[in-house]
Amino acid sequence: MVIDDPEIIARYQNQFEKLWFDKFSLERTRQLYQKANVNFPLTLMNSSDLETQIQIIENITLEEAYILIQENKDNPNFLILDVRTPKEFLGEYIENAVNLDYYSDTFRNDLDKLDKNKTYLIYCRSGRRGGNALNIMKELDFREVYNMLGGITKWKSEGLPIAK
C-alpha cells in the first residue's frame, strides 16, 4: 500500500513534532519520518539525550491501522487486541489478534497484566468498546496504544482480510 494522501502524510509530520518536543524515542521519530516519506536529519539527537517517555494513546483510521499491522508483522513487541466477546471473536477476527473480553469482570486486571511497553492496536465490532479500552489503557500507563475506528465491521466492509 502506497501512502500518497496528503492528510495522512501531514498527520505523521504532526506526530513527529509532538514526539520531538516531548523527547520520545529516536527510533519512533525515525519511523514517523519514514512513514511521512521525509528524510530523517541524522544530526538531530542521540538516544542518550532522551529524558522522558510519553504515551501515545489515540484513535486511528482503518487505513492507518492496516499500515500499522503491515509494518509490524514480525515485531514481537506489537499486539493486536480484539476486545469483543469470545463468541464474536470465534466468528471472525483480524489475523494474529488476541481476544480479551471487554465485558469480562476481570478485563481491567487482565489488561494490567499485559506488557505496558509493547505497542497495541485495539479493535472491537464498531469502535465503542475499543475506545473505552483505549481510555483504560491510558489510565494504566501503557506506552503506545491505538484504537481502530469503525472496528471489524468497517474492516470487513473495506474488504480487508479476516480469519475465521
Query: For the chain, what are the domain ranges?
Result: 1-54, 55-164
pTM of the model: 0.70
Residue of 156, 106, 108, 116 whose CA lies nearest to 132:
108
Is 60 exceeded by the pLDDT of residue 154? yes
Q: At residue 39, does pLDDT exceed 60? A: no
Q: What is the mean pLDDT of residues 109-132?
A: 97
Lowest mean pLDDT segment, chosen from 43-52, 124-133, 138-147: 43-52
* Residue 161, number of CB atoms within 10 A of its CB: 10
On the 0-12 / 13-18 / 19+ scale of CB atoms within 10 A, 100 is buried
Q: What is the mean pLDDT of the chain?
A: 82
- Domain 55-164 in CATH 3.40.250.10: yes
What is the C-alpha separation between 147 and 130, in angstroms, rounded?
A: 6
The confidence score (pLDDT) of residue 37 equals 58
Q: What percent of the chain stands above pLDDT 70?
A: 68
Under 8 Å between Cβ of 150 and 126 = yes
Neighbours of 136 (CB within 10 A): 17
Outline where the chain has alpha helix (H). Answer: 6-21, 26-35, 62-71, 86-91, 107-112, 128-139, 151-157
At residue 43, does pLDDT exceed 50?
Answer: no
- Read off the DSSP letter of residue 93: B
Q: Taking 60 as the threshold, does the pLDDT of residue 4 lie above it?
A: no
